Chains A and B, each alone.
Chain A
Amino acid sequence: MKAFWTRVILAPLYDLGQHALASLSGLIGMLVLIVFGLIVGWIAKEIIYRVLRALRFDRLCDRLGVGQVVERTGMARSSSYLAGQVVQGLIILSTLLAGLNELGTPLTRNLVDRFFLYLPHLLASLLVLIGGALVSRFLSRSVLIAAVNAQMPSARLLSGLTRFFVMALTVVAALDELGISRTTIIVTFAILFGGIVTAAAIAMGLGARDLARDLLQSQFRPKVRPEAEDPMRHL
């Protein structure tokens, strides 16, 4: 009877206790790593923020137009602070993943492996987005200044459209890099562009031919070609 009691009740309970202890140590290890990550992340953020501020990183970002984006979206109080926060987030994420790995379950190991395989795509799409934002800003400002100097009434519209299309292309490229609904996005984009072009063609070619002509003339043709007809010698 005693042997039966030991085999059926005590032994499984003992094994359960052993497993619980092993899991608990993994859990404690994970918590320690996360706390460590939080502390190191906070310290790293403060150091990076202060060093970048001393190196006038904010001024550089303002010149590139990144500073205004940060300010307008309310992401952080400054570009230096945002850079510190990004590093802090990466450190916390790394320690969290290391902690999950510490648990040693197939699920968490699989999750960590997949994350690290995905990381290069994430960074590449981030770079594409940053590059696209800078290019769209530069091009839209070029268009705006040129259109205002030519006294085109729709200068801001042209500038806004330039920014929109460059950013749309950028987002498509970034999502494509991430592999998110690749086919759907490309098809949607193609349909969108195709729709715009078709609508414009129909408007001009059929029902609203005169209206489209008048609209385009009033919007895009300056009343006077100021620089071509400028009679002054400015120098």
Chain B
Amino acid sequence: MGVELLEHQVQEKLSAMGGAEIIVGIPSYNNADTIGQVVRVALEGLQKYFPARRALIVNSDGGSKDRTVQAIDPAHLNTPMILSVSHPLYPMHHLTTPYHGLPGRGSAYQTLLHIAELAQAQALALVDADLRSLTPEWFDLLLRPVLDREFDFVAPYYKRHKFNGAITNSIVYPLTRALYGRRVHQQIGGEFGISRRLASRFLQGKVWSTDVAQYGIDIWMTTTTIAENYKICQSYLGAKLHGLKDPGPNLGSTLMQVVGSVFGLMETYDSVWCNVLGSLPAPLFGVPFEVGVETVPMNLGRMLASYQQGVRDLLPVYQSIISPAQLEGLKAVAALPEEEFALSDELWVAVIYDFSLGYHRRVIDREHLVRSLTPLYLGWVASFMRQAEYDTAAQVEARIEKLCLVFEQLKPYLLNQWPLQTGEKRSAS
């Protein structure tokens, strides 16, 4: 959709409803099964929690082939509160399946942010179109901190099975926490609350034509918010259940997209994180209530075999990435029997720091580097699952907290090897 046509469509809708203080953005692609329910819940949430505020729900569709747009109740579509637009989806968006399952998510977010700016809305909430666990309360939790507490960014906080979200828990959360000094648990999600000034900042970014927009836009938004000192908080949303979709990308590709985005942003903001030691909590809104979560079957043998094969067959690759001391440690762990298999937090953290340094120095092709992390990651997951098999959710949380602290304690290991531009100084804050 052209910018002029979009602006005309938005202006027409806004003048019909007399402006909008709140925008709810729903990017979609082939979500006919769930979008009707998501729009219904969004309407209910806005009417229940923000009856006095003018709000606009915008569905931005990337050319769905399953009549997603038609799946929205026509009665709703004809109300002034709902607008349906489309965002461009190019052939390149179909080349690789993104981990979040929404091709062109960056393009959709850019369109929705643009609409929020045109409307001069005070707050924008983004929600995925494939949600099955969405409730009206989510809109209160995502928008209220922005509207009433002057937060710029509301990150989601989901309740999950203790073994789900292992990439988040073992790499993304502890690494970004140690780097930027903010404890934001969920960098990867589809639900956010955004203030007007931060929406403007996001639109100024040059990220929209890059791979980051396609594969790591959520990580980019969260990291930008923290690194540039915008006010960030979290809202407890409970369990997140998706609709049934095609299988996502394989683990290697997922790591490439997610960990590659985090490593890439380390280069963008190295002058920021080099001056940070320790971390501060991000305020959490909502009540952490107990909910039923999906169970995770354990297959330790397969993960262990992957780790052992990786350490054996990828040794020449690892020799160019991982320091000799850590490599010896990994080999020693690979030789352990299954019942004693344990990868220590210290070793894991040093390996992740070595990978980030190797990525920065381009010791080998970057895609090769991140994909070669897969067997080691599975080894860490196997070790974590074996040790935490009988732990309660709270005990697992404590284990993750301990891992985060090791990331923070070993940060000097990274700092001492990260080549800084001349003139930059390192100092603890």
B59 smallest CB distance to A (angstroms): 24
Q: Does B302 contact A235, Cβ atoms closer than 8 Å?
A: no
A220 smallest CB distance to B (angstroms): 15
Partner of A149, one of B99, B251, B302, B363: B251
Query: Smallest CB-CB separation from A63: which chain B residue?
Result: B362
For residue A141, which residues in chain B have a CB less than 8 angstroms away from its CB? 317, 364-365, 368
Q: Does A148 contact B313, Cβ atoms closer than 8 Å?
A: yes
Q: Does A226 contact B294, Cβ atoms closer than 8 Å?
A: no
Q: Does A234 contact B310, Cβ atoms closer than 8 Å?
A: no
Task: List residues of A (8-58) whose CB comes within 8 Å of B's CBs.
Answer: none
Partner of A145, one of B167, B250, B368: B368
Task: List residues of B (95-110) whose CB comes within 8 Å of A's CBs.
Answer: 99
Determine whether A142 belongs to the interface, using a CB cutoff of 8 Å to chain B: yes
Task: List residues of B (287-318) whose CB comes within 8 Å of A's CBs.
Answer: 294, 296-297, 299, 302, 305-306, 309-310, 313-314, 317
For residue B168, which residues in chain A have a CB less than 8 angstroms away from its CB? 235
* C-alpha spacing A166/B314, complex, angstroms: 20
For residue B309, which residues in chain A have a CB less than 8 angstroms away from its CB? 148, 151, 153, 155
Determine whether B164 belongs to the interface, using a CB cutoff of 8 Å to chain A: yes
Q: Does A144 contact B317, Cβ atoms closer than 8 Å?
A: yes
Determine whether B247 belongs to the interface, using a CB cutoff of 8 Å to chain A: yes
* C-alpha spacing A226/B372, complex, angstroms: 16
Determine whether B252 belongs to the interface, using a CB cutoff of 8 Å to chain A: yes
Q: Does A224 contact B375, Cβ atoms closer than 8 Å?
A: no
For residue A149, which residues in chain B have a CB less than 8 angstroms away from its CB? 250-252, 306, 371, 374-375
Q: Does B251 contact A230, Cβ atoms closer than 8 Å?
A: yes
* C-alpha spacing A59/B361, complex, angstroms: 9
Task: List residues of A (49-85) whose CB comes within 8 Å of B's CBs.
Answer: 59, 62-63
For residue B388, which residues in chain A have a CB less than 8 angstroms away from its CB? none
Determine whether A2 belongs to the interface, using a CB cutoff of 8 Å to chain B: no
B85 smallest CB distance to A (angstroms): 28
Task: List residues of B (149-170) whose CB comes within 8 Å of A's CBs.
Answer: 160, 163-168
**Which residues on A are within 8 Å of B, measured CB to CB?**
59, 62-63, 138, 141-142, 144-146, 148-149, 151, 153, 155-156, 224, 226-228, 230-235
The 8 A-B pairs of least Cβ separation, nearest first, read A227-B250, A234-B167, A233-B164, A149-B252, A149-B374, A155-B313, A148-B313, A145-B371
**Which residues on B are within 8 Å of A, measured CB to CB?**
99, 160, 163-168, 188, 247, 250-252, 254, 258, 294, 296-297, 299, 302, 305-306, 309-310, 313-314, 317, 320, 361-365, 368, 371-372, 374-375, 381
